[in-house]
Amino acid sequence: MAYTKNLAVIRGLKSGFSADGGALSGIIKAEKYGSSLRAEASLINFAPLTEGKYVCALSDGKNLCVLDGTLFEGASAVDTGAGFAALVCFVNGGVTPIASAVCGPFQSAVLGIKEQLEQLENTVVQKIKSEPAYEDEALAQENYYEYEQTSQNGEPVRENPQEEKDGSIACENAQTSGSVEKEGSGELAGGLAHGSGFYPRMKDEIEKVLSSYPEESALVGMVENSRWVRITYGDGKFYVFGVIYGAEKPQYICYGVPSDDSRRPPESLSGLASFIPSSPDKPASGYWIMYQDADTGASIKITAH
């Protein structure tokens, strides 16, 4: 079986979604080995959301693969060997394309991705309308965006929890809620290997953001060996961006939103964020923070206690 690895640079299509007011940027990587596909989106300067969500999908012109957050890993009919087209959309009732990435002669495939995502979104809406109303505290157990990716026996393809290992964040002074898990290094089943060197490739952009905005001193004081800035956007709203270091090297790239509710993150950050209080005296007020591994760029999953 042939192993292929392709990269495509994200290019913004719509303004108003970047973390620094500039053009959206990032990288989408696709590795294919036989029927196994590993696709990952690194959304470099996308602003954290307090409502709605980002949805990223890849296409080979015939088949569609929708990422679970920023990652898909499993069996897929999508063939990225010769390249691919990708679209990042903001989904909040409707589907709004905000960025694209194309590798190889697949520019025309971008248009079809939006239509397929709209069909998926309509399916979700119709399913919700046809079901009895849930109690406020009920939690959805199904990821409807996974229904097209199935195994040979027709079951949804989901990430294998055995391919993850526990990680820890160097926040000795911060009382965070939840523990983190990150993907292991080395080769995966099927011959797919994790990338590395993410931070050095993005260092100039990251340093530019850290030097262009005012320091968020509350987080600097709460998280040892870290740098944080506050980025303000419309109507006095803001989010935070930072880097946590370990052994004098960047370990995590961080994005977060302020909150007065330490029990529940915004929907868009569910499973991806942990809470850091703004001070020891105010444990219920602080920030919901999501993390990227500085070496691989992979998002860190948060396991609630």
Q: What is the pLDDT of residues 53-105, one digit of tens each?
A: 899 999 999 999 999 888 899 999 999 999 999 999 999 888 999 999 998 89
Neighbouring residues of 150: CB distance < 8 A, sequence distance ≥ 6? 75, 156, 157
Whether the full predicted model's pTM is greater than 0.85, yes or no, is no
Nearest-10 Cα torsion for 268, 270, 272, 274: 120
Res. 304 pLDDT band, cuts 50 70 90: low
Query: How confident is the model over 256-270, as pLDDT tens digits?
Result: 888 888 888 877 677
Amino acid 268: pLDDT: 66
The SS3 of residue 185 is coil
Q: Of residues 1 and 160, which shows the higher confidence score? A: 1
Q: Of residues 284 and 245, which shows the higher confidence score? A: 245
Amino acid 88: pLDDT: 95
Query: How confident is the model over 116-164, as pLDDT tens digits?
Result: 999 888 876 565 555 555 443 433 333 333 333 333 444 433 333 333 3
Nearest-10 Cα torsion for 205, 44, 102, 63: 170
Query: Are 269 and 288 in contact, with CB atoms under 8 Å apart?
Result: yes
Bridge partner list, 142:
none
Amino acid 58: pLDDT: 94
Query: Are 205 and 45 in contact, with CB atoms under 8 Å apart?
Result: yes
Strand ranges inside the chain, DSSP E: 3-9, 11-12, 26-33, 36-43, 53-59, 64-66, 71-75, 84-92, 94-103, 164-166, 179-183, 226-233, 237-246, 249-259, 273-279, 282-293, 301-303
